[in-house]
Structures are given as C-alpha cells and as structure tokens.
C-alpha cells in the first residue's frame, strides 16, 4: 500500500470511528471509490484502530485512570468498592460483554457481507437510529448509571458488528434513550471502544507486520487516524452538547442512497 492511500484511509477511520456514521462502512466505501475496492488486509484494521485507540487514550486519560485505579483498589480492599472508579470499571466491563460474545460468534458471517451493498443498508439503519435519538437525561456520573443500562448499551454496540451500522452512533443513542447525559453517553461509549480497540492493538503487536509490508504506510496510517480521531471526538462532544446528534442522519441516508444508485 502506498503512503497516500494509507494516510487517506487513516483519516477516514479517525473521523468516522467516533462520529456516528460508521467507520467500517466508510473504509469500505472510501477504498471502493478511491482505490478500486480491493479487499483491505487485516493490518489496515489493526493500524487504523491503533491510531484511534491512542486518540481515545489521550482524550479519556482521566476516566481511564479513574476506572483502572478504582478497579484494582476494589479488588484489594472491600471499602474501595464504594468508589466511583470501581463502579465505572464494572460498567465498562458489563457493557463490553455483549459485543465480545456476538463478535466471536458471528465474525465470519459479518466479514462475508462487508461490501458496499450491505454497508448501504447498514447506513440506512444508522440514520433511523440517529434520527429517533432523544436529547438524553441527567445520569451524568457512574453512580447514577445502572448495570442494566450498561448491558443494554453493550447490546447496541454488538449491533454495530453489522457493516455500515455506527458503533458510536448506536451506543450513544442507546445511552441517551436510557437517560444518560450527552457527555456521559459519549464518554462511556468511548471507554467501551477503548477496551475493544486495546485488544485489536495487542493482536497487531503480537503478530507483527506481515511479510512484504513496509513500516512507513503503517506508521502514517496510525498517525493520521490518531490526529483525525482526536479532533473528531472533540467535535462530537460539542455536537452532543448542542443537541445536534440527529443531524448526522440525513448525511448517512444520502451516502447510502448515492452508493446504491452508483454501484457498478
């Protein structure tokens, strides 16, 4: 893969991983229209996800540190299980379970339907989810969130295994329906993503680069995804505060319609 293609795909991943428009769908469509639509190798997913994971790690560093310290303190001392960090860690774990189970069980099926047609229908569904999302509620701390809320948000995240369905869109929408505040809904969604993406990054480190792949495109993709992902997260927080989350729906509907009408 040449450097330009790596940077473009990295930017696409970074912008669309956190905005509610489906990063997997945009990667498929960007590669299809800009670079001929050849099947993307596994290292592309690993490199681009590493970049967005590092962006989430930087922006959410306080919440991640709070959850980690609260979790390990809670394992060591019973009284520490009353802390918000302990509760936040358990919420993240509960929310991460459904997607893990669904992903392992149905991974092969969803990989076979990862093409522009299925992506377009997934984008149409994403638009419906976004358009029907409420403004949210007052659950703005971990103490106010029930484990049931986290589990239902995790179920919504598992829906995003379908190509074209936005992970951030479905999880944030579910949390807003459950009464979380817009900022807390986004934070919990990003923390859930960090858990899954950390596993993907470890997979990449374990396996290393495939034979014949230069380091330069990989590093360029990671850097591009990191910068664009960080900026996308900042932008999304502002969008949620202004109550404009639903206005991504017309965009994904238009993209889906355009794709279906222009497929060769």
- Model pLDDT for residues 173-213, shown as the tens digit of each residue: 999 999 999 999 999 999 999 988 887 777 666 666 666 77
pLDDT tens digit string along 134-147? 988 999 999 999 99
Q: Do 215 and 70 contact (CB within 8 A), yes or no? A: no
pLDDT tens digit string along 32-61? 888 876 667 777 888 888 899 999 999 999
pLDDT tens digit string along 235-249? 999 999 998 899 999
The single-letter DSSP state of residue 163 is T
Using a pLDDT cut of 90, give the percent of the chain over it: 60
Give CA–CA dist 120/192, Å, rounded.
25
Sorted by sequence, the CB contacts under 8 Å of residue 154 that are 6+ apart come out as 94, 95, 96, 97, 98, 99, 192
Helix-, strand-, coil-residue percentages of the chain, each rounded to 5: 80, 0, 20
Note the helical H segments in 77-214: 84-112, 116-131, 147-159, 167-177, 182-207
Mean pLDDT score of the chain = 88
Confidence at 254, pLDDT banded by 50, 70, 90: very high
Q: Is the pTM of this model over 0.85?
A: yes
**Is the confidence at residue 226, as pLDDT, over 70?**
yes
Strand partners, 139: 180
pLDDT tens digit string along 75-115? 999 999 999 999 999 999 999 888 778 766 666 666 566 67
Give CA–CA dist 6/94, Å, rounded.
35
């Amino acid at each position: 893969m040449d450097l330009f293609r790596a940077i473009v795909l990295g930017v696409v991943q970074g912008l669309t991983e956190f905005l509610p428009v489906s990063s997997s769908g945009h990667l498929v469509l960007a590669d299809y229209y800009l670079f001929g639509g050849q099947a993307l190798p596994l290292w592309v997913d690993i490199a681009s996800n590493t970049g967005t994971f590092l962006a989430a790690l930087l922006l959410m560093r306080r919440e991640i540190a709070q959850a980690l310290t609260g979790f390990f303190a809670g394992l060591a001392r019973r009284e520490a299980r009353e802390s918000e960090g302990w509760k936040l860690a358990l919420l993240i774990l509960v929310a991460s379970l459904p997607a893990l189970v669904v992903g392992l069980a149905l991974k092969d099926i969803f990989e076979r339907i990862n093409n522009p047609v299925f992506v377009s229908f997934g984008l149409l569904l994403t638009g419906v989810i976004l358009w029907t999302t409420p403004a949210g509620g007052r659950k703005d701390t971990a103490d106010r969130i029930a484990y049931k809320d986290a589990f239902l948000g995790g179920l919504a995240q598992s829906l995003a295994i379908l190509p074209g369905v936005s992970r951030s869109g479905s999880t944030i929408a579910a949390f807003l329906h459950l009464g979380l505040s817009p900022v807390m809904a986004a934070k919990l969604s990003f923390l859930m993503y960090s858990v899954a993406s950390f596993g993907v990054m470890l997979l990449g480190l374990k396996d290393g680069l495939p034979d014949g792949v230069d380091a330069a495109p990989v590093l360029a993709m990671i850097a591009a995804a990191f910068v664009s992902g960080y900026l996308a997260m900042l932008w999304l927080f502002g969008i949620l505060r202004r109550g404009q989350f639903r206005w991504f729906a017309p965009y994904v509907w238009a993209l889906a319609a355009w794709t279906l009408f222009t497929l060769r």
